[in-house]
Amino acid sequence: METNAKKPTLFSGIKPSGTLTLGSYLGAISNWTRYIDDYNSILCIVDLHTITVRIPPAELRRNSLTQLAYYIACGIDPEKCVLFIQSHVPAHAELAWVLDCYTMFGELSRMTQFKDKSAKNADNINAGLFTYPVLMAADILLYNTDIVPVGDDQRQHVEICRDIATRFNNICGETFRLPTAVLPKVAARVMSLSDPTSKMSKSETGDQSGCIFLTDSKDDIVRKFRRAVTDSEASVYYDEENKKGISNLMSIYSSITGSSFDQIANDFAGKGYGDFKLAVAEAVCDRLMPIQEKANALLSDKAYLEQVYSEGAARASALARRTLDKVYRKVGFVAKPRMGRMPEAGK
Ligand code: TYM
């Protein structure tokens, strides 16, 4: 895909730390597909971010390719965007180092995700976990990004990205465009089906009955929705404070079908929760089953996936290099010699 100077730029990414969930699909991916035609879209599999938490190497490799297949199956057409794997574009790590030097210890200490993750990984509170938002800022700023479509939990990270960019611009002169986080109108925070007070998450421990994975079978999806925690009132209407479970199911249903909360309340007036849960499960299955089928077909064509991520890396590298060169000039690094002119070792 050629970038079009007239179109604004979109950047987003997901960690290949596990199987994609309905949360990341409704909170992020389905929003990407909405914008893809009107934006220069740069979409990433953020594997560098994933190793802040320990993961077996074979699993990370497998997840990354599976995620690529699922992106495409969800409607992220590689012909319409730049689709790549973060570690293939070294400029991300390079800019992150520069930005580390323009980010304050105090502001990173206040990040809620750092506090949560360090509480969950008390035996591995590594420096990468702490500087994670700086790498994310580098991802976004490398591409002169206008919008970052993410779920609600990433809002704070986009805010700190703006703060870092502003600080750099003030010290070194106008360099970075300030990005805006774009959240979906509904389902910006999909909650766990078994505990609607906590976010649906791939890292959920235990039996994972509260999390819908994009790879789940129809039976599993129906079973998980049937068991979804609700309340004893047996009346379908939206009340985020007092009916967290039902409100979460309504958000999922609304996001997939496009029905408003009022319409849903009307359609299910006088019906029990059982009927509503089944309707939500069916809507989710109708959406996910064709995606699974397409992803499985793509996964059996490794050559195609390799072609997609190779072309994506070349395209992203060229775009990212322009910004990195500008940043290096601004901070005072001597211009890099052309690699072709470097003397061979020993001569
Ligand atoms: P990650 O991998 O945790 O989540 C990926 C995306 O899915 C959204 N999401 C949800 N939305 C609604 N409800 C949920 N239950 C839910 N779970 C996940 C997240 O908000 C996110 O948009 N730091 C990022 C990845 C990242 C990134 C970036 C994103 C790295 N660099 C640059 C945007 C731009 C993360 O951990 O997302």
pLDDT higher at 207 or 256: 256
Alpha-carbon gap, residue 56 to 69, rounded angstroms? 20
Mean pLDDT calculated for residue range 228-237: 95
Phi, psi of 85 (to 5 degrees): -105, 125
pLDDT at 201: 92
Q: How confident is the model at residue 121 (pLDDT cuts 50, 70, 90)?
A: confident
* Residue range 285-314, pLDDT digits in tens: 999 999 999 999 999 999 999 999 999 999
Separation of alpha carbons 228 and 277, rounded Å: 8
| Mean pLDDT, residues 79-104 | 98
Best probe residue, ligand 1, of 82, 86, 153 (max atoms within 8 Å of C-beta): 153
Catalytic member of 117, 224, 243, 277: 117
β-strand pairing of 147-149 with 180-182: parallel
Catalytic residue (one of 15, 115, 199, 330): 199
pLDDT of 206 over the 80 cut = no
Instruction: Using the predicted structure, report yes or no on whether residue 341 has a pLDDT greater than 80.
Output: no
CATH number of 9-184+302-331: 3.40.50.620
Judged by phi (left if over 0) then psi (alpha if -120 to 50, else beta), residue 75 lies in left
- What angle is formed at CA 189 by the lines to CA 184 and CA 193, rounded to 5 degrees? 130
| Predicted confidence (pLDDT) at residue 334 exceeds the cutoff of 80 | yes
Whether pLDDT at 274 is above 80: yes
CA 152 to chain centre: 11
**With the C-alpha atoms ordered 137, 143, 147, 151, is the resulting torsion angle positive or negative?**
negative
Residue 337 has a pLDDT of 87
Domain with CATH 3.40.50.620 in the chain: 9-184+302-331
CA of 74 to the centre of ligand 1 (A): 16
Instruction: Give the ligand 1 atom nearest the CA of 136.
Output: 31
CATH of domain 218-297: 1.10.240.10
Q: Which run of H or of E encompasses 83? A: strand 81-85
CB 92 within 8 A of CB 135: yes
What pLDDT is stored for residue 2 in this prediction?
63
The dihedral formed by the CA atoms of 324, 166, 85 and 65, expressed in degrees to the nearest 10: 180
Beta-carbon contacts of residue 209 (< 8 Å; ≥ 6 apart): 193, 194, 223, 224, 227
Share of the chain above pLDDT 90, in %: 91
Instruction: Give dist(CA 196, CA 251) in Å, integer.
Output: 12
pLDDT of amino acid 4: 78
| Confidence at 345, pLDDT banded by 50, 70, 90 | low
Q: Tens digit of pLDDT for each residue in 34-57?
A: 999 999 999 999 999 999 999 999
Angle at CA 90, nearest 5°, toward 85 and 95?
Answer: 115
Q: Is 202 a catalytic residue?
A: yes
Q: What is the pLDDT of residue 67?
A: 98
Residue 213, classed as helix, strand or coil, is: strand
Q: Is the pLDDT of residue 204 over 70?
A: no
Mean pLDDT estimate for the chain: 95
CA of 47 to the centre of ligand 1 (A): 13
Asked if residue 243 has pLDDT above 90, the reply is yes
Q: Per-residue pLDDT for 271 more than 60?
A: yes
DSSP per residue over 127-167, as a string?
HHHHHHHHHHHHHHHTTT-SEEE--GGGHHHHHHHHHHHHH
Catalytic residue status for 6: no
| DSSP letter, residue 242 | T
Closest ligand 1 atom to Cα of 188: 12
Cα of 277 to ligand 1 centre, how many Å?
26
Q: Where in the chain is the domain with CATH 1.10.240.10?
A: 218-297
pLDDT band at 336 (very low <50, low <70, confident <90, very high): confident
User: Is residue 134's pLDDT more than 60?
Assistant: yes
Residue nearest to atom 26 of ligand 1 (CA): 13
**Protein residue with least CA distance to atom 20, ligand 1:** 151
How much is the pLDDT for 339? Answer: 73
Compute the Cα dihedral for 266, 269, 271, 273 and give only its sign.
Answer: positive
Tens of pLDDT, residue by residue over 8-30, are: 999 999 999 999 999 999 999 99
Query: Measured from the CA of 202, which atom of ligand 1 is nearest?
Result: 17
Q: Assign 85 a pLDDT band (cuts: 50, 70, 90).
A: very high
Q: How confident is the model over 139-159, as a mean pLDDT?
A: 98
Contact between residue 95 and residue 54 where contact means Cβ atoms under 8 Å apart? no
Pocket residues: Cβ below 6 A from ligand 1: 11-15, 23-24, 27-28, 46, 49, 136, 139-140, 148, 150-151, 153-154, 157, 188-190, 199-200
Give the residue with greater pLDDT, 205 vs 90: 90
> Which residue lies with its CA nearest to atom 6 of ligand 1?
24
Map residue 199 onto helix, strand or coil. Answer: strand
DSSP state of 295: H
Burial class (CB in 10 A: 0-12, 13-18, 19+), 277: buried
- What are 51-82's pLDDT values in tens digits? 999 999 999 999 999 999 999 999 999 999 99
Q: CB within 8 A of 273, min separation 6: which ones? A: 230, 234, 236, 246
Range of weakest confidence among 165-179, 191-205, 305-319? 191-205
Task: Report whether pLDDT(347) > 60.
Answer: no
Which value, in Å, is the radius of gyration of the alpha carbons in the chain? 22
Query: Residue 236, by phi and psi: left (phi above 0), alpha (psi -120 to 50) or beta?
Result: beta
The predicted structure's pLDDT at residue 344:
64
Q: How far is the CA of 64 from the centre of ligand 1 (A)?
A: 15
What is the phi-psi region of residue 273: left when phi exceeds 0, alpha when psi lies from -120 to 50, beta otherwise? Answer: alpha
